[in-house]
Structure 1
């Protein structure tokens, strides 16, 4: 096989899967790992991919890229709705108690479902996300508490020391957490250090942590890790994790629920 043909196939693989591994490519094409690394270097120069330890990821999944809230709201909306519905199984029917909602488009889908639940004894809901607060304000069956702080424009979420300190004084029964990436080696991650600090505080405070993440987040690694896999009680997603990630989640004791 010519080098150009091999590189075209690598490009197709990374577009389809989002990630490739050097060793697996070497086995697939019966070439040395050094040959594969040269192929990846050329593809990186063309902007097709970003090399990472042990392989490469599609260029749009590099560690600091973060789409706007509006852009993310339009992506995989049906999958996020399904994930949100499955995630609410973490709450008993007619549940009372307290819930924390992290910022994010999938957690916003959870919020919309909570806003439409039958009224009864109110559920205490806390969030630092301005958009989620807007969804839940005045909703029947919800007592809403909003956490303040400096609002980050890209996510419309309060961040900073004030928000982190306020979360540290809480002990919600269940936290629905969002993320930009989850991987076997790096845990749960996000591109922004300020967002990561808030998410880390949520994980430390909640009695049970439910991570809602669509398949695009699986095996992705962003700049800042804010939780180890064993700190996540349940991962709710819409596709089976890769072999490596599934094994790591099993070892960590994290339940995987498919929507």
Structure 2
């Protein structure tokens, strides 16, 4: 069977069964799991399927919606804790300036900061600021803007303008999705504009992205891979995805 024939058969199988795992497809078509992942990536580019962790679903099965922060905070908590702890090694020295993006993993990082670290910290996320204010040596700046009920983070022209006046040593950034062609992306345009401004305000950009988000894309790109210095993820990352990131010049730290 030629690759094109196999991919068409896979697309029909996903459409009929609504969810198919990589392992099932590998056994069904007598190919390696790596071949299946490449086939699914090609089908996703053609908008025939959408990749999910461990397999694929029909392209129309997942609406482009944004989960509330409270819902996201309950997902993959062990992975996020490990990523936050690994990111501590990337903190700049005392006296530096950092930016912390909104998100459940960056909020965990804020809660894990050492008490003897003296930094100036900017954030547009209310939950992140609430954790930072408990650290005696951290000078906390909460950025202005309209606070979204979904993410509890400030967005809008005031937020973007405030970030435009900043120059931070390191920004720690979250993302809803990451893939090779679309970079880092998120569903909401206001959130994307704020994240884009964070990227522009930092000398070094560190993205905290668990492996379930890698290989996927959301509606609006806010950064290309070339704009990211380091991705901190977990050991669920596929070898092909790690190689892709490293080939793009991105340092990969596996928690």
Range of TM-score over shorter length = 0.7 to 0.9
Equivalent residue in structure 2 for 1:129, among 125, 134, 141: 125
| 1:76 paired residue number | 76
Contact 1:127 1:145 in 2 (8 A): yes
Alignment partner, residue 99 of structure 2: 100
Residue aligned with 1:139, SS: coil
Q: TM-score, normalised by structure 1?
A: 0.79
| Number of matched pairs | 226
Note if contact 2:99-2:121 (Cα within 8 Å) is conserved in structure 1: yes
Instruction: Note if 1:64 corresponds to 2:64.
Output: yes
Q: Distance in 2 between matches of 1:220 and 1:84?
A: 21
Aligned to 2:26: none
Specify the alignment match of 2:193 in structure 1.
197
Residue of structure 2 in register with 1:118 after alignment: 115
Name the CA distance, whole Å, in 1 between partners of 2:7 and 2:79. 37
Instruction: Give CA-to-partner distance per residue, 1:90-148, whole Å, 9 cap, x none.
Output: 125x622101000000000110012xx2336x310000001111111242110000001
Please say if 1:253 is aligned against 2:249.
yes
State how far apart, in whole Å, the 2-side matches of 1:34 and 1:216 are: 25
Which deviations, in whole Å up to 9, do the C-alpha atoms of 1:36-92 show, x marking residues without a partner?
A: 33333334xx5x489732443245984623221111111122221111111111125
RMSD over aligned Cα atoms: 2.5
Cα distance in 2, alignment partners of residues 61 and 162 from structure 1:
36
Write the distance in 2 (CA, Å) between the matches of 1:40 and 1:76: 25
Give deviations 1:6-42, integer Å, cap 9, x for gaps: xxxxxxxxxxxxxxxxx9xx75xx9543333333333
Secondary structure at the counterpart of residue 189 of structure 1: strand
Q: Give the TM-score of the pair, scaled to structure 2.
A: 0.80
- The answer as to 2:32 corresponding to 1:35 is no
Q: Does residue 220 of the first structure (1) align with residue 216 of the second (2)?
A: yes
